[in-house]
Amino acid sequence: MNNPTIRNWLGFSTLALMLASLFMIFDYVPPDAEMGIAQLIFYFHVPLAWVAFASFGLVAIAGIFYLWLGDQLWDDLGYAAAETGMVFCTLMIVAGSIWAKPIWGTWWTWDSRLTMTFILWLMYGGYLMLRASADDTPEVARFAAVIGIVAALDVPIVIASVRLWRTIHPAVLVTKQGSHGLEDPRMIWTLLVSLTAFTVLWAWFLMLRFSQLRTRSRMRRLATRIALATAAASDPN
């Protein structure tokens, strides 16, 4: 994951796909007949949710492997995934809130999906606060791995919440009536391009942060060795 060529390629691909996505959203796809142009927020809101959930799933997988193998690599991967997931989860909530105001008449409501998403956001916020405030010790890494795994259990609950409880949040892809609500093929194509753009953006961010955290881990080990060597060299005995 530390190949600079792949990272650069992902960066340029992100730019191209984002431009294509914006063109399709604002010039190609027809707005929803009932919601009007506010519905165009959907084409970023859903991909943001997808990459946020994928990130948190990766945190859980990395946490399991860290607890199993104890390799620092998995801890760094989990940290990078939690951070990028938090960025996208925050944006997903903000975009959803802005979309809700003209459609539902409120910025926020304690609907089941929104509440479970907020709980998810709080748990990963706690994960990142722990990482930011505590030392990088194996104990903290193990504790963070457990939090990451437990918090990820909320992801399927968020996804299923529109079926489990009464909610005003629409089921985006498949409704209870079996319809996905995207009858025009242009809507599906635009959503697919946006999903691809955000997936590539997520991969790019993840690689950049993972690479930095790997470098930081190596430098901290090296700093410890230098400190030991300095102490040994200055010790007259």
Partner 1 sequence: MEHLGYLFAAYSIIFAVIFLYVMFIWRRQAALDAELRTLEARMAALGEQPAAGGPPQPQSET
Token output for 41: 């927020």
Residue 211 Cβ vs partner 1, minimum distance, rounded to whole Å: 9
CA atoms of 97 and 108, how far apart (whole Å): 6
Q: Which element (helix H / strand E) includes 222? A: helix 185-234
Q: Tell me how crowded residue 15 is: count the other CB atoms within 10 A of its CB.
A: 14
Burial 17-38 (b: 16+ CB within 10 A, else e): bbebbeebbeeebeebeeeeee
Please say which residue, 133 or 234, places its beta carbon nearer to partner 1: 234
Residue 9 Cβ vs partner 1, minimum distance, rounded to whole Å: 16
Angle between helices 72-104 and 112-133 (to 10 degrees): 140
Q: Write down how long the chain is.
A: 237
> Which of the 8 DSSP states describes residue 105?
S
Please say which residue, 70 or 156, places its beta carbon nearer to partner 1: 70
Residue 164 Cβ vs partner 1, minimum distance, rounded to whole Å: 28
Residue 122 Cβ vs partner 1, minimum distance, rounded to whole Å: 19
Please say which residue, 37 or 134, places its beta carbon nearer to partner 1: 37
Which residues lie near partner 1 (CB under 8 A)?
36-38, 40-41, 44-45, 48, 87, 90-91, 94-95, 98-99, 101-102, 201, 205, 208-209, 212, 215-216, 219, 221-223, 225-226, 228-230, 232-237
Angle between helices 138-152 and 72-104 (to 10 degrees): 40
Please say which residue, 157 or 169, places its beta carbon nearer to partner 1: 169
Q: Which element (helix H / strand E) includes 8? A: helix 4-23
Residue 181 Cβ vs partner 1, minimum distance, rounded to whole Å: 19
Residue 120 Cβ vs partner 1, minimum distance, rounded to whole Å: 18
Helices (H), 24-136: 42-69, 72-104, 112-133
Please say which residue, 98 or 150, places its beta carbon nearer to partner 1: 98
Please say which residue, 102 or 126, places its beta carbon nearer to partner 1: 102
At 44 the three-state DSSP class reads: helix
